[in-house]
Structure 1
Amino acid sequence: MTTPADSSALQVRGLWKIFGPKAERLIGTPDAALSRAELQRKSGHVIGVRDVSFDVAPGEVFVVMGLSGSGKSTLVRLLTRLIEPTAGTVVLDGQELTAMDDAALRQVRRDKISMVFQHFGLLPHRKVIDNVAFGLEIRGDNKTNRRARAQNMINLVGLSGYEQNFPDQLSGGMQQRVGLARALAGDPAVLMFDEPFSALDPLIRRDMQKEVIRLHDEVGKTMVFITHDLDEALKLGDRILIMRDGEIVQIGQPDEIIGAPADDYVRDFVADVNKAHVLTLRWVMRPPSSDLEGVGAPTLNQSTIVRTAARTVLAHQGVVRVVDDAGSFVGVVDDEDILRVVVAEQDHE
């Protein structure tokens, strides 16, 4: 899926971050093409992010993932200029952050961007409602309006009744809900999450992932989500960007990442994924022998997850027709096509 630049919520072009005293001079030289290790040995400079470009569509959940040291957390800090880029541009909601002076950048951070961090960053001496309203207070909203907005966000994230609690009276999951409410309170154009759930235990983490999905369905915010966890990326992302050594390895929808890994690195990364839960019918369907094949049979969209389609396909004697989003007949599947994926995953387990 490509996103036209003029319709993007976020546009990133040619973004670099090189750590070292003469970083700017390296861009465009042969040394800039060296590996991280080679460049560090030769010059003492370290490449954090190398020539990264992508677009994020309005309302999209865009996940950036990679292992430790891949550059993903450096990238999210570059997007908000918490770290200054060595080169490149970032355009957020039509405004070029990389060209702004400090005053304009502070204004955009207050009005357009909210961040949710792994370490919740709550103010321990302030009650829940005052933590949620804090950004609105900094922005200059009057007390009545900010309290009302904060209460609405508290209700939205399921913390009604805890308004007067202090953060240390809440569980880790509840504290992260406060962080979510605070991020939403300012009605930002883009929400950015930097591994927000990695410090939580697995059960709470799953609950918080479901909460993000629910909130996205309700408020429709553009989200950039950083994670090292592939299952989390596949669960949350409309599209996923995979990084390694500061570079983009692949960008695609979850089924594209699983169905057509860009290289051996991605292939190894996704090897243990239950493909029946991610692959869609477009990865298992066959071209029809004619326009009339399967006429009268059930019809499924090519974006249907294999696991979801299994019940319909296995219950039908014969092929099931597959259509694209425009309703055009594009393929057929039968029980063998489905079982090839489902049984392979059971054997793998």
Structure 2
Amino acid sequence: MSEIALEARNLYKVFGRNPAQAVKRLKAGETRDDVLDVGTAAVIDASFAVQRGEIFVIMGLSGSGKSTIIRMLNGLHDITDGEVTIGGDPITGIPRGRLREIRRDRVSMVFQHFALLPHRTVADNVAYPLELRGVAKADRRARAEEILAMVGLAGWGDKLPSELSGGMQQRVGIARALAADTDILLMDEAFSALDPLIRREMQEQLVELQAKLQKTIVFITHDLNEAMFLGDRIAVMRDGRIVQIGTPEDILTDPANDYVEQFVQDVDRARVLTAGNVMERPRPYVPDTGGPRAALRQMKDAYSSAAYVTDRDRKLMGIVTDRDAVKLVRKGENSLRSILKPVPQSVSQDETLMNLFVPAVESPLPLAVTDEHDRLVGVIPRVTLLAALGPGPNATEEITLPMPPLPHAEIDAALGGAESAHEASANEVPTIKAPANEGEVR
């Protein structure tokens, strides 16, 4: 079972002269605008749990309350009502000294505008959390250099922050948070001050670091494409409330309301959806024990000139063409192994759509999709790949195979006409459970 690293329960934050009265009225059903006479409600009844090791993204437009929430998670903002726990321990209603210990030992923060100490070198900035803990100077310097190398800043330790570019300064901010070696990283619009190219580079580096370090990260952003790229799960905020929590695929394909639907309409789907999201059940395919007749039936039913061949564990062995299968039938042979051709392309079910276009073009069959054990779990016809990216003039293009399938009459002749029920049963192809978006392969 997943372990909860951080949890927020029914959080409210109201700025103004009478926050308690505002919360009472909000709980009674009044709106954000209704309570303006007693306070400004920045966060309203927000609840979520962050699993250990995930990147949890909170996103929304300016004024939605996302930056206020992240400051409530480490006690920078007092909580008007509700509770935050870190590893099961509350941070609300505790002495200030205990709160400082939690910030020092369990939660680090990366700010939008770097927040580096300008008079300290890069290495000293990174080592600062260790200095607060009383770590010896030589040890903290060695640790700082190690982490600087990890974020791509080896050799820059003796420079001042002013000598670095914006992207490099943000790397120092991330390195400083990593040096603290806390379980949780809070990142408030950490990349929004960077230009687009550097921003994308930093996003990719964060994903690479997370794969190695498995920190628990709460990331705040107003950029939906950034949220989709980084987040294991995303909380969408509007007017102080969380309106939907889900995976990037959930948010994109099943928006909770019109607001979320409008929000995601311009998302780059090719960077979010994966092969596993759009694949169809694997047809045409035949186990290597099925023989040429079973292969021909599969190709005939799918109007295809070739079929995938798998072993008994559904691992791909190769492809067989209808012409080669007909030759085997005419020779009276029952094994496909002598005519197998290599699989031209296959992709992992976790591969994003943006990386599927070249393989799909190069594959004479619908693109094979495999799991972590290299088993065939689905296929993606080119028309399905195009349709997954949204409606457009090419969404109904036909798939053109390098070699058209044989006429049915020629296949029937090779099979000797209608086969008996016994023969059909003997050569039956096992069924693989279809995904939710099952469709016919053409």
Shorter-chain TM-score category?
Answer: 0.7 to 0.9
Which 10-residue stretch deviates more, 271-280 or 31-40? 31-40
1:63·1:224 contact (CA, 8 Å) conserved in 2? yes
Within the candidate set 68, 73, 76, 1:74 is matched to 68
Within the candidate set 231, 247, 251, 1:237 is matched to 231
Counterpart AA for 2:352: I
Counterpart AA for 2:309: G
Within the candidate set 249, 259, 275, 1:255 is matched to 249
Counterpart AA for 1:159: L
1:275·1:345 contact (CA, 8 Å) conserved in 2? no
Q: Which residue of 1 aligns with 2:384?
A: 337
Equivalent pairs: percent with the same residue? Answer: 45
1:321-343 Cα deviation digits (max 9, x unpaired): 76788999876543321222247
Within the candidate set 37, 45, 63, 2:33 is matched to 37
Task: Please report how far the alpha carbon of residue 290 of structure 1 lies from its aligned counterpart in structure 2 after TM superposition.
Answer: 11
Structure 2 distance, partners of 1:27, 1:347, is 52
Please show how residues 12-51 of structure 1 align to structure 2 within 5 Å.
12-29=8-25, 32-40=28-36, 43-51=37-45
Within the candidate set 334, 349, 355, 1:308 is matched to 355
Within the candidate set 163, 166, 177, 2:171 is matched to 177
> Tell me, which stretches of 5 or more residues in structure 1 are unaligned?
none
Task: Please report how far the alpha carbon of residue 282 of structure 1 lies from its aligned counterpart in structure 2 after TM superposition.
Answer: 4.9
Task: Please report how far the alpha carbon of residue 301 of structure 1 lies from its aligned counterpart in structure 2 after TM superposition.
Answer: 5.9
Please show how residues 89-238 of structure 1 align to structure 2 within 5 Å.
89-238=83-232
Q: Which residue of 2 aligns with 1:59?
A: 53
SS in 2 for 1:226: strand
Structure 2 distance, partners of 1:32, 1:264, is 25
Counterpart AA for 1:27: V
2:22·2:35 contact (CA, 8 Å) conserved in 1? no
1:24·1:86 contact (CA, 8 Å) conserved in 2? yes
Task: Please report how far the alpha carbon of residue 59 of structure 1 lies from its aligned counterpart in structure 2 after TM superposition.
Answer: 1.2
Which 10-residue stretch deviates more, 210-219 or 44-53? 210-219
Q: Which residue of 2 aligns with 1:85?
A: 79
The 1:309/1:203 distance shift into structure 2, 3 A limit, reads closer
Structure 2 distance, partners of 1:347, 1:268, is 23
Task: Please report how far the alpha carbon of residue 225 of structure 1 lies from its aligned counterpart in structure 2 after TM superposition.
Answer: 0.7
Structure 2 distance, partners of 1:327, 1:50, is 47
Task: Please report how far the alpha carbon of residue 127 of structure 1 lies from its aligned counterpart in structure 2 after TM superposition.
Answer: 1.1
Structure 2 distance, partners of 1:31, 1:165, is 52
Structure 2 distance, partners of 1:288, 1:133, is 54
Task: Please report how far the alpha carbon of residue 110 of structure 1 lies from its aligned counterpart in structure 2 after TM superposition.
Answer: 0.5
Task: Please report how far the alpha carbon of residue 268 of structure 1 lies from its aligned counterpart in structure 2 after TM superposition.
Answer: 1.1
Structure 2 distance, partners of 1:12, 1:326, is 38
Counterpart AA for 2:57: V
Counterpart AA for 2:35: L
Q: What's the TM-score once normalised by structure 2's chain length?
A: 0.70
1:180-202 Cα deviation digits (max 9, x unpaired): 11111010110111111211222
SS in 2 for 1:110: helix
Structure 1 distance, partners of 2:242, 2:199, is 27
SS in 2 for 1:36: coil
1:195-244 Cα deviation digits (max 9, x unpaired): 11211222221222122122212222111111111111111111111111
1:259·1:279 contact (CA, 8 Å) conserved in 2? no
Greater relative contact order (CA < 8 Å, ≥ 6 in sequence):
1
Counterpart AA for 2:230: L
Task: Give the CA RMSD over aligned residues.
Answer: 2.9
1:121-158 Cα deviation digits (max 9, x unpaired): 11111111111111111122222221221121112112
Q: What's the TM-score once normalised by structure 1's chain length?
A: 0.87
Task: Please report how far the alpha carbon of residue 86 of structure 1 lies from its aligned counterpart in structure 2 after TM superposition.
Answer: 1.1
Higher helix content, 1 or 2: 1
How many correspondences in the alignment?
342
Counterpart AA for 1:206: R
Structure 1 distance, partners of 2:253, 2:95, is 44
Counterpart AA for 2:386: L
Structure 2 distance, partners of 1:283, 1:344, is 17
1:89·1:98 contact (CA, 8 Å) conserved in 2? yes
Structure 1 position 296 matched with structure 2 position 309 = yes
